[in-house]
A and B are shown apart, each in its own frame.
Chain A
């Protein structure tokens, strides 16, 4: 079956070469050849099929313990549960590159499957552009990081090394694929952009289609980043979810630029403005996904996420340079078609706020990128590798992020082109006063720090503006349905009629919920270290912790020592539950890990770690965190992804011409 996997990978590589060459040929010389376009479409679908077969071949090798393959021997062993044997496919660099290839190709295949309704001049270039991305990653996989290489050993290995214990977690099954879906999904907007520039078909089509694909990639990336944060929170045992690690940052960078694009694209759709800016954002987003892959695989930065240092970094840099030069050349070539049709007429307009939002997002992006690359620059210029830590990222990004949240309240509330002064006063005075009251009350209640108070105030402001928009919308809808503005019928009709608009409000609501949770967990976190013997108690926050006993467990691939800790209410003395943090010793890897015991609550999380046991084995060293409102961070993320899904659902399958005609009819033109 390994031969089948390798054969499929080779066929996939040949197909990508065919689609790239055929697409460029068709775009240049045979634009009206329906046969060739159909062949390219089918070939694009088969690239995904063949890469799926390659992935299956490798997976089969893992499940059947085929240790003649170096990659399988390195990342698997017989004791590992079958689920981790599957997830070990992307546990190392070679397999993760293969998964990446498959997911880019999968997006390309989905795009090809629905592409019959797309404008024909775009199609050959579109297939070629997506396949060029797949070709790059397939070339690396086939020639530099091939997971099907045989082990250079004269004897057959009876067992493998096994997967890194930190990766033996159920989140390994979902976090990397979700993150990769986000990264690879953003290759499609790039392909649309390149196809539009290459074909000269610069109409609204590409921008409208790109928006939906960007939303899909953005939603996956959001889910992937948050799942990564949740995994880090549960597994790494430091009580937090985001450490501004270089590789975490690398996933955050394209998210920022994709978010900027999702806003600025609306300005181009409606006003014909920001065309070059949008091309820049799409190319930058894709370039940042490639940069993130480079960062993880080149070994230039130290990170818990990074794979072993390799010599393929130069290939990524060459590709990055090539795609930027190509995009720049095409932009210069199509310069006249990329000129704005209008200008911003007022600062109190939605387009002006969206532009401001873009600038803030790009500022955050630049600050994070600077922090990531600072060690590289410092080493190049001073000879010493200096890193910037969490304080730098927080100091720069917290004010920028709060400005962004504030703009989230302003943007949807103001009108396109120009907003009347009366509306500005009516829409913003109550939320502003409300925010001021909340902030004052918080200072009164004893929160001394500036940023938490400002953050809660801004969040309240945004919540009130969203609520105001909903109320105004319901009043308008009630005029149409002749029902009360507070009736369920009115609200359902309103939400269905303006699905995209209220889907976006839902995303913003999710961001506000997350912001409140992040503020609370950062500003009011309690952290304590203590030692307990059985029967002893330690009080922290609303809880009292009592060590009851130690318990040993033996699993196929690790031995565990658990501390059974009873949790009591400090106020009433009532027993709430028992937590069991543990130390695991992975026998094969000879590594020790800590497993967090967590009591998740709506008010706060009780996060308990067994740091160690003394020499006599009678006393446990423990660390406890109380993280207020932590669970709301995950709820907020779910709301955001749900909002993204609502916005991304297509309106219908009408052709563009029919849609415009229908709009004419509805406008009475």
Chain B
């Protein structure tokens, strides 16, 4: 038997074992765990975006790119939005 043929057999066996293993391993028992719902994801997205916007705002202010009035106005707008999100999150 040639080396090439042996390698073909070995490769087939390795792939066969590796792909069928999850069906026999305990760690992959079918679970009916709920996937993250789209509304959860949206909330998380909004939270992340607002936090980022707050951070950017603080950073831009510290670098002197925006005035104090702009900072306080934008911060209060963003904080209000964030509070709304947190309320929704709590209800969920």
**Stretch in A2-10, A445-453, A548-556 touching the partner:** A2-10
Contacts of B5 in A (CB 8 A): 3-4
Given A420-B66, A423-B64, answer yes or no on A2-B31 (Cβ-Cβ < 8 Å): no
Closest Cβ neighbor of A272 among chain B residues: B49
Cβ of A426 within 8 Å of any chain B Cβ, yes or no, is yes
Cα–Cα, bound, A495→B76 (Å): 30
| CB–CB A53/B82 < 8 A | no
Q: Which of A2, A43, A200, A271 contacts B19 (CB 8 A)?
A: A43
| CB–CB B44/A203 < 8 A | yes
Q: Is the interface of A mostly helix, strand, loop or mixed?
A: helix
Q: Which of B11, B23, B44, B66 contacts A35 (CB 8 A)?
A: B23
| CB–CB A1/B33 < 8 A | no
Cα–Cα, bound, A433→B31 (Å): 66
| CB–CB A416/B60 < 8 A | yes
A-facing mask of B52-87, CB < 8 A → 1, else 0? 111111011011111100100010000000100010
A60 to chain B, nearest CB (A): 9
| CB–CB B30/A35 < 8 A | yes
Q: Which of B31, B42, B82 contacts A34 (CB 8 A)?
A: B31
Closest Cβ neighbor of A661 among chain B residues: B47
| CB–CB A414/B62 < 8 A | no
| CB–CB B70/A420 < 8 A | yes
| CB–CB A1/B3 < 8 A | yes
| CB–CB A32/B32 < 8 A | yes
Cα–Cα, bound, A8→B82 (Å): 54
Closest Cβ neighbor of A469 among chain B residues: B63
Given A419-B66, A660-B44, answer yes or no on A32-B33 (Cβ-Cβ < 8 Å): yes
Contacts of B7 in A (CB 8 A): 1, 4, 53
Cα–Cα, bound, A664→B52 (Å): 10
B-facing mask of A472-496, CB < 8 A → 1, else 0? 1100100100000000000000000
Contacts of A297 in B (CB 8 A): none
B87 to chain A, nearest CB (A): 13
Cα–Cα, bound, A31→B36 (Å): 12
Cβ of B35 within 8 Å of any chain A Cβ, yes or no, is yes
Of the listed residues A2, A46, A57, A203, the one surrounded by the most CB atoms of chain B closer than 10 A to its CB is A203
Q: Which of B32, B45, B64, B66 contacts A203 (CB 8 A)?
A: B45
Contacts of A660 in B (CB 8 A): 44, 47-48, 51
Closest Cβ neighbor of A18 among chain B residues: B19
- Among residues 13 to 41 in chain B, which have CB atoms less than 8 Å away from a CB atom of chain A? 15, 18-19, 21-23, 28-33, 35-36, 38, 41
Cβ of B92 within 8 Å of any chain A Cβ, yes or no, is no
Of the listed residues A1, A43, A204, A479, the one surrounded by the most CB atoms of chain B closer than 10 A to its CB is A204
| CB–CB A121/B35 < 8 A | yes
Given A416-B57, A660-B44, answer yes or no on A53-B19 (Cβ-Cβ < 8 Å): no
A566 to chain B, nearest CB (A): 56
| CB–CB B56/A203 < 8 A | no
B85 to chain A, nearest CB (A): 10
Contacts of A423 in B (CB 8 A): 64-66
Contacts of B36 in A (CB 8 A): 119-121
| CB–CB B22/A4 < 8 A | no
Cα–Cα, bound, A11→B55 (Å): 50
B11 to chain A, nearest CB (A): 6
| CB–CB B31/A1 < 8 A | no
Cβ of A627 within 8 Å of any chain B Cβ, yes or no, is no
Contacts of A426 in B (CB 8 A): 64
| CB–CB A657/B66 < 8 A | no
Cβ of A245 within 8 Å of any chain B Cβ, yes or no, is no
B-facing mask of A32-74, CB < 8 A → 1, else 0? 1111001100110010011001000100000000000000000
| CB–CB A656/B49 < 8 A | no
| CB–CB A476/B44 < 8 A | no
| CB–CB A2/B4 < 8 A | yes
| CB–CB A270/B22 < 8 A | no
Closest Cβ neighbor of B79 among chain A residues: A669
Cα–Cα, bound, A516→B21 (Å): 58
| CB–CB B11/A419 < 8 A | no
Cβ of A415 within 8 Å of any chain B Cβ, yes or no, is yes
Cα–Cα, bound, A31→B66 (Å): 47
Contacts of B64 in A (CB 8 A): 423, 426, 472
Given A50-B15, A656-B44, answer yes or no on A204-B3 (Cβ-Cβ < 8 Å): no
A7-B8, A414-B65, A419-B66 known, 16 other contacts, Cβ within 8 Å? A3-B5, A4-B3, A35-B23, A35-B28, A38-B28, A119-B41, A203-B44, A416-B53, A427-B65, A469-B63, A476-B63, A656-B44, A660-B44, A663-B51, A667-B54, A667-B55
- Sample 23 A-B pairs with CB under 8 A, ordered by A number: A3-B2, A3-B4, A7-B11, A8-B11, A11-B11, A11-B12, A35-B28, A38-B22, A42-B19, A46-B19, A57-B4, A203-B42, A204-B49, A269-B49, A270-B53, A270-B56, A271-B49, A414-B65, A420-B65, A422-B67, A660-B44, A660-B51, A667-B51
In order of increasing CB-CB distance, the 4 nearest A-B pairs are: A415-B65, A415-B60, A4-B4, A203-B41
